[in-house]
Every structure is written in C-alpha cells, then in structure tokens.
Structure 1
C-alpha cells in the first residue's frame, strides 16, 4: 500500500511539472486547438523523428471543433496549462492550409512551416528564459499573410534534461486559424517539415544548460521570418 501511495504521489508530481497548450486568447480548452496526446498525462514528445513532433495529435485527422478568426497583425495569446514550468525556448510556426483543405482537416505534412517567433535566453550565472512560469505567451500574427486558413504551432523545448540525446522535452500543439486583413505579401525564405526540421543532436536540443553554463545558444530550425 505504501509503495502504491508513493508511486501515485510521484506520478502526480511529475504530471504537475509538465504542461499542455490547449487554448488561445479566452477560448475554452481544445475549442480551437487540436487535442494533444498528452491532454491528460501532460507528458512531452522526446523523439524529433516522430510524427507527434508536428502537432502532437491524439486523434490525427480529427481536428479541433472550431477554427479561430484572427486579424493579421494582431497579437494572439497562446495559453499554457498550468504554466511553462521548465527552462527552455518558446517558438511559433505557421503554415497555410492548401487549396481543397480546411484547417480542421489538413494534417500539416510537408515543407510548409515557417517560424514566426523564437525566444532567446539571457546569459549570466545561469541561462534564463522570459517564458519560465508563463501561463500565456503572446505572438503577433504576421500582417502580410494572405487571407485564408492556417495552422499555428506553438512549441516549448524544455532543456533541463537535454544533456543527452533524447533528453530534451517538447511541449506543443496546433491551433486552427482563419486569418483575414493581411496584405498578402508573405513570402518566407525558408519552410520546414515536421518531422524533418530537427535532429536530436542539434546544438539547441542536445545541450547541458547547467555546467559549464553556456554563453550562447543556437535554436533549432530555420530563422524567424518577417514581413
């Protein structure tokens, strides 16, 4: 009985230290965000070669119930539940839904993702990240997007155990957006696929952030695109 109780307490503590990204702005959980595999366990993706690294979908092909209408150039808040509780960088990627598909049906496969935000650390006695402890992370939807439906992918890489390959923890999800009001001049220089964008040995994924404390950081994936 004691062993069972101790195991349950440990499992609860581990789950509480992890997190999901289930909503945008003031919406309900999983209303506009595709339900992730970790919606109950809160556990991370650790295999960057897995299809789960794309949107971490519990039921691929199902989609979220609704698609969120947003104006290009506006700030959207992507919410963490309960909070971002590990050190590491936030990033956002966006991909336009192709003709003949909808944000609710498209799987987001192929070289279609462009990075629109990348968090960098502050350096000193330790590496620190402004997202640490955050419950909501703002991102600006590019003002030059063309009208249409998109997938917005949020990603937080927890680096507390990233000193060995496979130790980095990825917390992510994809929101379904309907964007309007943009200039339509969006022309990204680089598009990547998930999986495919990352390697387990990329310097921003395989890194000991504690000793010696790094004095620089190279995030994985492409450069941030702008209008």
Structure 2
C-alpha cells in the first residue's frame, strides 16, 4: 500500500526511541540486586520519559518523586560499600551517568531534597582500547548499560540520605532545553564513622541552567571530540571520573 513504508518507518523510529528511554527502579549493594522494583527507589509518575526543564523541582527525584518517600523503604548500607542502580529498559542514548547524594535532616522518608547535593560519581566517555576512539570522536562508556556500580565514599558521615541517579541524553542538546534528564532517588541509611564534609554542593533546582556546560552542546553530539559533565567536582576531593562501566551484578536470591 502506498504510504505503508512511511508508517512503518515512523513506527520503527518511535519504538527505537522508546527503547532508548530508561528509569531506575532498584538498587545494587556489593554486587547484589536488592529487593523489588521501587522498594528502595522512590516511585515517580514519569515512566521512562525524560525531564527537560532544569528549573523544576522535579529535577530532584522526578515527577511526584518527592511525594512517595513515605511509601519507600530505606536500605541500610555501610560507608565504603559498592552501590549501584538497575536501569529499567536500557541507557540507549549518548551521554553521561552521574550520582549525587544529599543528607536528610531527619527521616529520609520525609525529606524533600531541598538541601545540598554532592556529586560522588560520573561515568562518561570510554577510554579503553575497545572504544574505537581513533577518530577522536567521543564514545560513551554508558551506552546500552543496564546496571552500573560505584563506590559510596568511606568518608561519608552516618545518617539517612537520598541517593540520586542522573542520566543525561545529549543527542538533541545542541538546542536549548534539548538535553534529556532521567532521574530517580533511592533512600539509604549509612552506617560508619566517616567525618567528611561532602562538597562542593549544589541545589536542585538552581545550579543547572539550560546553557550550562555539558547541558548545552555547541555542536551535534556525534561530532564532539570532548565532553565535560555538568555539576560540581566529584567528592571526595581527588575522585576521578569513570571511563569504564562496572555493571557486574548477581540477581537476588
């Protein structure tokens, strides 16, 4: 039928785009996927869709994520543990993966995320021999990831925290508000004797702008030869950006 190829092409494009979207629904602790979906991650109402307005409070824990704390369990961990998130669907767009942490003033179930956030992890461009970087174009260590792990700083003081995963898709970021943000928050209770002071810190919203470095890209993503992620320096001081995906997990018993 005339027009059928066009319909099929559109359907395929939509399916591909949807498949590339993601959210975070479970945490990983020391290589073990923990609990059921949304048991320790605040459920939001945005599905696997993205955010684009960096001035919105939804940037903290996604749409309605600030309302679901009371219905979310808090998981006990130790400072120094290896934590992580599972990605529902697939991290299917170019861009970095970041993790922020914010201490609750009391019970994290009641915390609205309006306090200070320190960045503890960034997974960005791939720099191994297998990346095919001979042409100088950025290749992404995050691409097609379905889980990722990172270290919870040993210096982190005991207390209850929001642990915020942030994926940024930059395939349309050459235009204002073109960057796509995928966000969710887990609730954790940290045990340990850490006495560090997380920082530098930022606020959500307030610190990201539509033209911040790493959010507005001056040229099409497939041609960039370097990339700087948005946000503050990683904490603790001296922490380096990751360029190799650590996605090793085992399923819960």
Deviation at 1:209, TM superposition (A): 4.3
Q: Select which of 226, 229, 234 maps to 1:219.
A: 229
Of 11, 14, 18, which residue of structure 2 is paired with 1:15?
Answer: 18
Contact 1:127 / 1:209 at 8 angstroms: preserved in 2? Answer: no
* 2:94–2:143 CA contact under 8 A, matched in 1: yes
**Is the partner of 1:138 in helix, strand or coil?**
strand
Higher helix content, 1 or 2: 2
1:205 and 2:208 matched: no
Aligned mate of 1:147, from 150, 158, 180: 158
Identify if the C-alpha distance between structure 1 residues 162 and 124 changes in structure 2 by more than 3 Å, giving closer, same or farther: farther
Query: Which residue of 1 is the match for residue 167 of structure 2?
Result: 156
* Distance in 2 between residues matched to 1:107 and 1:8, nearest whole Å: 39
**What's the TM-score once normalised by structure 2's chain length?**
0.79
Which of the residues 137, 143, 147 maps onto 2:148? 137
Partner of 1:36: 44
User: How far apart are 1:216 and its partner, in Å?
Assistant: 2.4
Q: Give the direction of change, closer, same or farther, for the CA distance of 1:124–1:53 in structure 2 (3 Å limit).
A: farther
The unaligned stretches of length 5 or more in structure 1 are none
The residue correspondences of 1:84-95 to structure 2 (distance < 5 A) are 84-95=91-102
Q: Tell me: CA distance 1:209–1:138, structure 2 relative to 1, closer, same or farther (3 Å).
A: farther
Task: Answer whether contact 2:72 2:187 (CA < 8 A) is retained.
Answer: no
Q: Could you tell me which of 53, 60, 69 is aligned with 2:59?
A: 53
Matched, 1:72 2:83: no
Asked if 1:194 is matched to 2:204, the reply is yes
Q: TM-score, normalised by structure 1?
A: 0.87
How far off its partner does 1:90 sit?
0.7
Q: Which residue of 1 aligns with 2:247?
A: none
Counterpart of 1:118 in structure 2 is: 122
What's the secondary structure of 2:202's corresponding residue? Answer: coil
**Is residue 138 of structure 2 the alignment partner of residue 127 of structure 1?**
yes
Does residue 167 of the first structure (1) align with residue 170 of the second (2)? no
**CA separation of 1:109 and 1:152: change in aligned 2, threshold 3 A:** same
Tell me the C-alpha RMSD between the 2 structures.
2.2
Residues 86-142 of structure 1: CA deviation (Å, up to 9, x unaligned): 1100111001111xx3111100103x1000012232465321111111111101111
Are 2:103 and 1:96 aligned? yes
Q: Hey, what's the Cα distance between the residues in 2 that align with 1:138 and 1:50?
A: 28
Corresponding residue number in structure 1 for 2:249: none
Structure 2: runs of 5 or more not aligned:
127-132, 238-253
CA distance in 2 between counterparts of 1:128 and 1:9 reads 24
Match of 2:242 in 1: none
Which SS does the other structure have where 1:135 is aligned? strand
| Count of residues paired in the alignment | 218
